[in-house]
Structures are given as C-alpha cells and as structure tokens.
Chains A and B, each alone.
Chain A
Amino acid sequence: MTETLVLTRRAVVEGVRSFESLMPMLFIPLFFFVVNVGQAGKIFPKEGTPFLEGQGYAAFSLPAALLTAASFGTAALFLVEEIEGGYFDKLRATPIPRSSIVLGRLLSESLKNLMVTTVIVGVGVLFGVRIRSGLGGFLLLLAIMAVWATVFSGFMQLVAMKTRSAAATNSASFIFFPLLFLTPNFVPRDQLTRPMEIAASFNPVTYVMEAARSLILEGFEADVLLKCTAVLVAGLTAAVALNVRAINHYD
C-alpha cells in the first residue's frame, strides 16, 4: 500500500509540473459547456421547461461537462510515455507489487479529477447552477466523477500497456465521443428519438450522467443513484482487475 501511495504522490506532482496536460481536462469541457448553454439556453427556458426543475439549462448541461473532463485523464498518456522511454521497466525492476504502478496512476487520476470537477462546478455556479442536494450531494458528485475518471483512465491504461504506443493510446481516447454523445446529454432520455433512446439505454455513461443530473436538479434519487453505483462498481472492478492482470502479465 505504501508503494501505491508513494507512486500516487509522484503522479500528482508530475501532473502539477506539467500543468499544460491538465488544460484539456478543463478547457474542452468548459468550452462545450459555455457553447451548449449559449446555444440551447433560449430553447429550454427555466420557466416552461419541466425537466429543468426550476433551474437554467446550465444546470442540466453541467454533468456532460463533468463527464467530458473525467474522460480527458492523462494517466494513460503518462504511462505510455514511461513505457516508450524505459522508466516503466525501471519501476518493474523494483521489488514492489507491480500492481502498485498502475494503481498509483489511477489513484492520482481520481485526485486530479476532484480538483477539476470542483473548478467546473465553480464555473457552473457562476452560471447560476445550484446543487439541489446540498453539500452532501456535491461531495457525492465529486466521488461519482472521480470514480468515473478512474474507470475511464483504467481502460485507457489497458490500451497503453497493450499497444505500448503513444499514438495508439491517443487515438483510443476518441472512444469518449460515442460514450459521451450517445447519452441524454442535451435532453432527458424520454425525449430522445427512439433509436437514440435505445442506444443511450445501453450506454453505461447514461446512468452516471443521470445520477449527476439528479443530484444537481432534484436531490437524492435512490433508484437513479443505485443504477449509477452499479455501473461504477462494475466499471471500477473490471478496470482495476484488468489493469492488475495486464501489468502482472506484461512481458
């Protein structure tokens, strides 16, 4: 456990030192957020749009921005850089459990995401967003996003270890487009066209987004949170198990 924490600390320091790597995590989600609110704010006014629950469209749109940020993690890119540069082997040649190497990176990703989510929610507040579930809901929102960031980074790390190529790892990150856009990110699921509704229902990101949205717009909705928890637990279990297996069998 100590080794994992030592490597987590190193990865966090690395992120701070290469601050430019955090910019896509902040800039791109905020850009989409501002543009979406600017474009659709008049179509969905606070008054007369029941699914906004009395808030502006910014509140509805915020979870999409948070999920975009969580999908721009840099853990896999740093990992593949170390694989290509040879430092990964240096770490593998130490007597620590090799799982610490990947778990340290994943843990650091969740910590970085806590910071990024806080900043984006702060910008949302400037746009009039209020979190209906209060401080507890905000903390739960942070936890949900941090876990999702870990899950997504976990799968990207798998690509990094499998391909050992920065170009391939970078390309694989585009999986976030279908995952993020085949969701009810502009309107609630029941207002999507039938094919989109079916696609969104099969997309696990939908349930994370709906949970985040319910915390912002409504409060604690047990059934919504339960579905999100199931998605996160399954995703996290799979991501961690596959990462540990991948590094233990890395040859």
Chain B
Amino acid sequence: MNREPHVPPGPDRTMTPAIEARGLVKRYPAKADAIEAVRGIDLRVEPGEVFGFLGPNGAGKSTTVRMLTTLLSITDGTATVAGVDVARDPAGVRARIGVALQEAGLDARQSGRELLTLQGRLFGFGAGPAADRAAELLDLVELVDAADRPLKGYSGGMKRRLDLASALVNRPDVLFLDEPTTGLDPASRLVIWDEVRRINAAGTTVFLTTQYLEEADQLCGRLAVIDDGRIVREGSPTALKADLRERAGLDHDPTLDDVFLDATGRTRERQAGDVQEVQA
C-alpha cells in the first residue's frame, strides 16, 4: 500500500530547536582502549518535525538516543532537548519528552491500564487524572478492549502501541522512538506509522531511529544517516536523492536505499542484515 509521504511544515529556525547537539561524543572505557560509539555529532531538529535517524547496526543510533534522553551520560559535547540542557537539567528534559525504546520495555505483570496509570503518577499526575489520562491513551491506541488484561498476553504489535501510549502520558514536546517497528508485521507497522503521523500532527516533534528506509521515506521530513558514530548525510529524503542523482550523474531517480549505500560506502551485498528495505 502506498501512502503519501509526510510533508512537515518548513523548519522555523527562529524558534528554539526541539533538539540541538554540538560535538556529541560517547566514549566507553575499555581495558585496552576506549571505544568511541558516537564521535562528535552535530544535530538540529526544529519543533514540529519528524526527524529520521538512520544507520546500520552498531552505527551509534541508539547510543545517541540514549544520550539525548538522559539514559546515558555524555562524554563530550552539549545537547539541549526542548530547550533544556541534557547534562545540567536531566529531570527537566525527562519531564518534556516521551521515550519508546527498542525493547518496548514493559512490566508484564501489570495490565495496560495499570501501566499507563503508573506512568502518569510518575509524571506527577494525581491518582484520578492519571487514571483519566490512561483511559484517554488506551482509546487513542485502540487497546480499550485489552486494557485490563495482563501484558504477558499482549501481541508484539499491542505491546508497541502500549509503549507508544506510555511515551505520550505527559503530552511530550519531543517524542523519541527508537526503532518503533522492528520485528512487527506489516499491518502492525502501518498502525504505528499512522500513530506517529497523528502524534506529529498534534504538534509533537518526533525523533525516530529506524533500520527501515521505507519507513524513513514515509514518515520523515528530514533525516540524518549515521555511520561509525559520525553523521555522513543530512537533509530531506527528496534533497538527498536529488543530491545523489546530481553527484553520481544518474539517469534515474535514486531511492533512499541508494542514498544510504552511497553514504555508508556499503554495497547491496553488505547491506543485507544491516539495513532493510521493507514495503509495508
């Protein structure tokens, strides 16, 4: 099924950026030598954008997300999210963001409603408002029927939708989605895409990492390609394709796959297992 690519409102560079990183570095100490997972990233994401962050396994996508969401310390450089300095006021950042990580980490002993209500309490809602917000979100992600069932009985797609809902409890300014559709069947993937569009249409900035180029093409107004801890391309999918066509002197329009392969120096053979093209 073909869907219209999301066309975001043009970035307004006069506003405080939703995300800004300068010279972001993550270095892990190791016995022999330090491992540098992220090597000096500069990023600027404007409010209202859906920004895609692409890269092969181990490129530094999740490490970057974990630094921006305060889950991992920053070795060097600075970052602000929703105008708040990540290192100086991590709790202030956490109050303004929503996070859905790769693992859809949920507590299997709770029901969907309990999980969302607890999440609301942790964001400072009273018991009543937390329960109301949980009901609202269950309705949004269409999990009302399963709301009171333990999560261990949920399918992968249901868990992802619930995880997404839990990331929205505090009506975040910026939503971080780390590979939100990995491992989902095509139907569930489409549901998540629709949710992302709906969330973004309501004004939330979305920072999305993905291995699926089709997903980036469908959802993202702008994207960056990271490889070996460095950003190797940045721009809108259309601009990146046009740039490649011009540089390579192609007589046809390249796909985002071609852009990715060109940016990371990979061949189609090497691409297998790294980044996948999936038609949902």
Contact = CB atoms under 8 A, between A and B. Distances in A.
A2 B130 CA distance: 14
B105 A18 contact: no
Interface residues of B, number: 29
Residue of A6, A93, A96, A251 with highest tally of chain B CB at under 10 A: A93
A180 to B, nearest CB: 30
* Size band of the interface chain A makes with B: 20 to 34
Contacts of A96: 122
B95 A89 contact: no
Looking at B72, B99, B109, B122, which has the most chain A CB atoms within 10 Å of its CB? Answer: B122
Contacts of A86: 101-106
A6 B103 contact: no
A7 B73 CA distance: 25
Interface string A1-43: 0110011001001100110000000000000000000000000
A88 B102 CA distance: 13
Contacts of B121: 2-3, 6
Given A86-B101, A89-B101, A90-B101, A95 B124 contact: yes
A82 interface: yes
A6 B122 contact: yes
A86 B102 CA distance: 9
A95 B104 contact: no
B239 interface: no
Pick from A3, A90, A97 the residue with the most CB of B within 10 Å.
Answer: A90
B122 A3 contact: yes
Contacts of B70: 92-93
B122 A87 contact: no
A6 B124 CA distance: 11
B71 A89 contact: yes
Contacts of A82: 105, 107
Interface in B103-124: 103-110, 118-119, 121-124
B106 A90 contact: yes
B95 A95 contact: yes
B140 interface: no
B106 A87 contact: yes
Nearest to A16: B109
B73 A95 contact: no
A6 B104 contact: no
A230 interface: no
B201 interface: no
B129 to A, nearest CB: 14
B94 A251 contact: no
Contacts of B78: none
The 5 closest A-B pairs by CB, nearest first: A86-B105, A86-B103, A95-B95, A94-B122, A87-B105
Interface of A: 2-3, 6-7, 10, 13-14, 17-18, 82, 85-97, 251
